[in-house]
Amino acid sequence: MIADNQQERLKDGFNHYISGFVDGEGTFHVAIQKTNNVIPEFRISQRRDRVELLRKIQEIFQCGYIKQNHARNLRDNNLVYVVRDKNDLCDKVIPFFKRYPLQSEKYYDFIKFSEIVEKMRKGIHLNNIGLKELLKIVFSMNRNGKYRTIHKSNLINLLESSETIRRTPKIPGEDIVRSR
């Protein structure tokens, strides 16, 4: 019994270590693709010579994959551990960080990330109203979207214009191609 408790304390200590490590080297990110596809992603980056640490973390979570950070950049010597699967995020990653909370400002991004993933699991992102709701949360993360390449208003305008186009009634014969 004493050995079991000792093993649990060691594992628990490593889990706290992972949480602290993610505070420095991890990120909770939500990508928005041009097709209005929303991709939640948990990542931890590390130099290639420290791949064993990423493998241990992958073993703890029992999901995700390890890949080169920027495959096209030959000077980037980093690897990244990535979890994108919504079920793995909901069932493994999010509960882990609820049990072993982050201690930095990143904690608030984690809370928002958790909310987004839970809403996506319920399908809220499958219509424009829900997607707009998620975008508001997404753009409040990671320093209010400071490093995003597209501005929130541009995405929302795209959503609104595509919704307007979708709702506009078709004119009969509009889709017929006329020859000259």
Report the domain count for the chain: 1
Does any domain span residue 118? yes
- Judge whether 146 and 111 are in contact, CB under 8 Å: no
Q: Within a domain: residue 176? A: no
Residue 7 lies in a domain: yes
pTM reported for the whole predicted model: 0.76
Residue 123 domain-assigned (yes or no): yes
- Residue at 80 is within a domain: yes
Domain-embedded: residue 179: no
Which own/partner pairs from 14-17 qualify as long-range (CB within 8 Å, at least 24 positions apart)? 14/56, 14/60, 15/60, 15/96, 15/99, 15/100, 16/100
CATH number at residue 157: 3.10.28.10
What residue numbers bound the domain in which 139 lies?
Answer: 2-167
CB 84 within 8 A of CB 39: yes
Q: What's the length of the chain? A: 180
In which residue are the tokens 């928005």 written?
Answer: 32
pLDDT in tens, the chain (180 residues): 444 565 555 667 889 999 999 999 999 999 887 666 889 999 999 999 999 999 999 999 999 999 998 878 878 889 999 999 999 999 999 999 999 999 999 999 999 999 999 999 999 888 888 888 888 898 889 766 555 556 555 555 655 655 443 443 443 443 333 333
Q: Which contacts of 151-158 are long-range, i.e. CB under 8 A and separated by 24 or more positions?
A: 155/32, 156/132, 158/36
